[in-house]
Chain A
Amino acid sequence: MFGLQNPTKFLKFAKLVGPWFALATVLLIGSGLWIGLFASPADYQQGETVRIMYVHVPSAWMGMFAYTVMAVASAIALVWKHPVADHVAKGSAPLGAGFTLICLVTGALWGKPMWGAWWVWDARLTSMLILFFLYLGYMALSGAFDNAERGAKASAILAVVGWVNVPIIKFSVDWWNTLHQPASVTKAGMPSIDPAMLIPLLLMGVGFTTFYATLLLWRVRSEILQTRIRNIRLAQIHGEG
C-alpha cells in the first residue's frame, strides 16, 4: 500500500502526516466537546446525562474499528510478512483496549442514573466487555514470548481467529440478551438522534478517529525504532563473538 510496508518510507510518511492528524484531533474533539457539552440541547428524557454519549458512542466505534485494523493488519502480516503490518497490529491493540475501556466506564456512568445500577447486562455493553477481554488476551500473548517475532506471529493468528469470532459472539450475546430481558423492561438505549446532537457526535467520531490515527502512527514509529535499536544491539553482541 503506497510502499508503506517499507519501514523507512513509513517513518517519512508518519513524520509528514502525523502533525496534521494531531492538529485535526485537537480541532475536532475541541469543537465536538464544546458543542456537545455547552451548545447542544439536553435530552428531554435523559437530561444532561445524554452528553456522556458524545464520548461513549465514539469510543465504542473506535473499540471495534481498532480491532478490525488489528485483524486486517495481522492478516497482511501473516500473508505478505510486511514488518510494518506487525507493528500496526501490535500498536493498535492497546489503543483499542483503551477506547473499549472508556466505552465501558462511560457506559457505567451513564447507566447509574438511567438504569439505577453501574452495570446491567445490556447486549451492547456485554459485547464490549468481551471485546475488552479479547484485547487483553491479544496483548498478553504478544508480550509472552522472549522472541518478539514469535509473539508477533502467534498474536497475529489470534487476532484473525478472534475477528472471525466477534460476529458470532455479538450474535450470541444479542440472542442471550433478548432471552433474559423481558420485553416490558425496555432498554433505554441511545435516543433517536436529533440533528443538534448528531453534529457534535459526528465531530467527536471523526475526532476520535484522527486521535487514534495519530497515536497509532506514533506507536508504530516507536516500534520501528525499537526494532532497529534491538537489531543494532544484536549485531554488536554477535560482532564481538
Chain B
Amino acid sequence: MNRYWELLKRELRLALRQGSDSMMVVGFFVLAVILFPFGIGPEPSILARVAPGLVWVNALLAAMLSLDRLYQADYEDGSLELLILTPAPLELLVAAKVTAHWLTTGLPLMAAAPLLAIFLNLNAYDLGVLLLTLAVGTPALSLIGSVGAALVLGARRGGVLISLLVLPLFIPVLIFAVGCVDAAQHAFPWTGQLAILGAILLGAVPLGLYASAAALRQAAE
C-alpha cells in the first residue's frame, strides 16, 4: 500500500509541475458546453432540458482527452518497465495511476460543473444530483479509459484509437448518469439509477485494474 501512495504522490507532483493537462481539460469541457447554446439556441427551458446530457457527453470527451498521456510518457521514457518490475502487484500501481487521473480530470470537471449549471439554467437540486452522478461516474470513466490507454501503447495513431476503443464502453455510464439527472429534473425517484451507476463503478474496478495490468505487461514485452 505504501507503493500506491508513493506512485500517487509522484503522479500528482508530475501533474502539478508540468502545468498539467487539468486546466486544459477543464477549459475544453467548459468551452465545449458553451458552444451548445450557439448551436441550439439560448432558450433557457431547452437548455435546462438538455443540460444533463450536454454536461455528461462533454465530460466524457474531456476525460478522454487526457487519457493518451496516462501511460504514454512512462512507456516512452522506460519508467513503465521499472514499474512492472516493482515488487508489488501491478494492479496496485495501475490503481494509483487511475486515482491520479481521476484527481486531475474527474475532480476538476466536477469543480467546473456548477459554473455550467448557471450557464445552462440548471437549478440547485438538479445540480446536486448531477454532481453525485459525476462523483460516481467519472471514476468509472478513468478505470475503463485506463484499459484503452494501456492497450494503444506503441500503436500507430494511439490517441485517436483510444476514442474508438473507449467511447462505446462509456455508453452505459452515460445512459445511467443522464437518466439519473433526468429523473431528478422530472421529480421522479433517481436513487435507483445512481445505484446502478455505483454497480457499474464497482464492476469497473476489477475489470479496469486487471485488464490494464495485463495490457501494460504485454506492452512492455
In-complex A–B contact (CB below 8 Å): yes
Interface segment, one of B3-11, B91-99, B129-137, B154-162 = B154-162
Do B154 and A145 have beta carbons less than 8 Å apart? Answer: yes
In-complex Cβ contact of A157 among B172, B200, B215 (8 A): B215
Task: Give 1 or 0 for each of A154-179: 1 = CB within 8 Å of chain B CB.
Answer: 10011011101100110111011001
Q: Tell yes or no: A133 within 8 A of B by CB.
A: yes
In-complex Cβ contact of A172 among B154, B164, B172, B203 (8 A): B172
Instruction: Give the docked Cα–Cα distance between A157 and B152 (Å).
Output: 11
Task: Give 1 or 0 for each of A118-148: 1 = CB within 8 Å of chain B CB.
Answer: 0000000000001001101100110011110
Do B156 and A176 have beta carbons less than 8 Å apart? Answer: no
- Residue from the set A133, A165, A173 with the largest chain B CB neighbour count within 10 Å: A165
Minimum CB–CB distance for B94 against chain A, Å: 13
Do A145 and B211 have beta carbons less than 8 Å apart? Answer: no
Q: How many residues of chain B get a CB closer than 8 Å to chain A's CBs? A: 29
Which residues from chain A contact B167 at a C-beta distance below 8 Å? 133
Q: Tell yes or no: B114 within 8 A of A by CB.
A: no
Which residues from chain B contact A169 at a C-beta distance below 8 Å? 168-169, 171-172
**CB nearest neighbor in A for B151:** A154
Minimum CB–CB distance for A136 against chain B, Å: 6
Do B161 and A144 have beta carbons less than 8 Å apart? Answer: yes
Do B171 and A144 have beta carbons less than 8 Å apart? Answer: no
Do B215 and A154 have beta carbons less than 8 Å apart? Answer: yes
Instruction: Give the docked Cα–Cα distance between A148 and B181 (Å).
Output: 45
Minimum CB–CB distance for A145 against chain B, Å: 6
The SS class assigned to the B binding surface is: helix
Instruction: Give the docked Cα–Cα distance between A145 and B219 (Å).
Output: 11
Instruction: Give the docked Cα–Cα distance between A173 and B156 (Å).
Output: 32
Instruction: Give the docked Cα–Cα distance between A165 and B152 (Å).
Output: 19
Minimum CB–CB distance for B146 against chain A, Å: 11
**CB nearest neighbor in B for A168:** B172
**CB nearest neighbor in A for B164:** A137
> A133-B168, A158-B165 are contacts. A145–B215 as well, Cβ < 8 Å?
no
Task: Give 1 or 0 for each of B186-210: 1 = CB within 8 Å of chain A CB.
Answer: 0000000000000010010001000
Do A157 and B151 have beta carbons less than 8 Å apart? Answer: yes
Which residues from chain B contact A164 at a C-beta distance below 8 Å? 207
Q: Tell yes or no: A150 within 8 A of B by CB.
A: yes
Additional A-B contacts beyond A172-B175, A175-B179 (5; CB < 8 A): A157-B215, A165-B172, A168-B203, A169-B172, A175-B175
Return the 7 tightest CB-CB contacts between A and B, nearest first: A144-B155, A172-B172, A172-B175, A153-B218, A137-B165, A137-B164, A176-B175
